Chains A and B, each alone.
Chain A
Amino acid sequence: RKEVEQDPGPFNVPEGATVAFNCTYSNSASQSFFWYRQDCRKEPKLLMSVYSSGNEDGRFTAQLNRASQYISLLIRDSKLSDSATYLCVVNPGYGNKLVFGAGTILRVKS
């Protein structure tokens, strides 16, 4: 079983739609959680950290459920520019490495 698992998609949605991505992680001792965004042939960029209380940044909302070892990302009012791969990322708590999921592809179409 992979340490971080995501639905690979692709998710094809129209502009203005709301879309949700889910992610599960296997190490219950994991310390911190993130969503990164990666555009085609570019480097990953931090989208947002994820906290147990949930956090929101504009159209983006992230949730963490430690009991279920589950992370989510909600994107409201999708824009064409949201098209990218969204990577679920976990710091498993040993060392300082990040463990990445394989990513979920989002395509927003007009």
Chain B
Amino acid sequence: DTGVSQDPRHKITKRGQNVTFRCDPISEHNRLYWYRQTLGQGPEFLTYFQNEAQLEKSRLLSDRFSAERPKGSFSTLEIQRTEQGDSAMYLCASSGIRGIEETQYFGPGTRLLVL
């Protein structure tokens, strides 16, 4: 399977715990994105990497959130001291440019439930 993969697919944690999610993008894509989706809403942008550089962060990304892409390949998203409001689907996407078209392809997501 050459699509975007995410691990774990589901995570249940207690409030106050730290969690880390992993995303493996499509291998030839140099851009990687994290989004968050809550019930009844569309995905909301969190952050974006081009290769290993984090180029943009949303105001949604509080100090408890950190994302890395150390070698420009896979990425991790860590949430420290989780809160019930962090419960959501965390989606990773990757993209590369072909001609003038750039399309973001999404992974299956990690569904987080904070109790």
Chain A residues engaging chain B, CB cutoff 8 angstroms: 4, 8, 32, 34, 41-46, 49, 87, 89, 95-103
Known A43-B109, A46-B103, A49-B101: A102·B45 in contact at CB below 8 Å: no
CB nearest to B41 among chain A residues: A102
Which B residues from 8 to 63 make CB contacts under 8 A with A?
31, 33, 35, 40-45, 48, 50, 55-56, 58
Residues of B within 8 A of A87 (CB): 42-43
Q: B74 interface residue, CB < 8 Å from A?
A: no
Main SS of the interface on chain B? strand
- Check if A43 sits within 8 Å of B91, measured CB to CB: yes
Question: Is the CB–CB distance between B48 and A96 below 8 Å?
Answer: yes
Interface pair A95/B55, CB less than 8 Å apart? yes
Q: How far is the CA of A28 from the CA of B2 in the complex (A)?
A: 36
A85 to chain B, nearest CB (A): 9
How far apart are the CA atoms of A42 and B109 in the complex, in Å? 8
Known: A43-B91, A43-B108. A101 touches B42 (CB 8 A): yes
- Nearest B residue (CB) for A43: B106
Contact check, B108 vs A42: say whether CB atoms are below 8 A apart.
yes
Q: Is the CB of A100 within 8 A of B108?
A: no
Q: Contact at B45–A99, with CB atoms within 8 Å?
A: yes
Which chain A residues border B35 with CB–CB below 8 Å?
98
* Contact among B41, B101, B104, B107 for A98, CB-based, below 8 A: B104
Q: Do the beta carbons of A102 and B106 come within 8 Å of each other?
A: no
The residue in A8, A42, A96, A101 that gathers the most chain B C-beta atoms within 10 A of its C-beta is A96
Given A43-B108, A45-B106, A97-B56, 11 other A-B residues pairs in contact with their CB atoms under 8 A: A8-B40, A43-B106, A44-B43, A44-B91, A49-B103, A87-B43, A96-B55, A96-B102, A97-B48, A97-B58, A103-B42
Taking CB atoms and an 8 Å cut-off, the chain B residues in 59-89 that contact chain A are none
**Nearest Cβ distance between residue B106 and chain A, in whole angstroms?**
4
**Given contacts A43-B106, A43-B108, A97-B48, A102 and B40 within 8 Å (CB-CB):** yes
Closest to A101 in B: B42
Nearest chain B CB to A52's CB is how many angstroms away? 14
User: A97 and B33 in contact (CB under 8 A), knowing A44-B43, A87-B42?
Assistant: yes
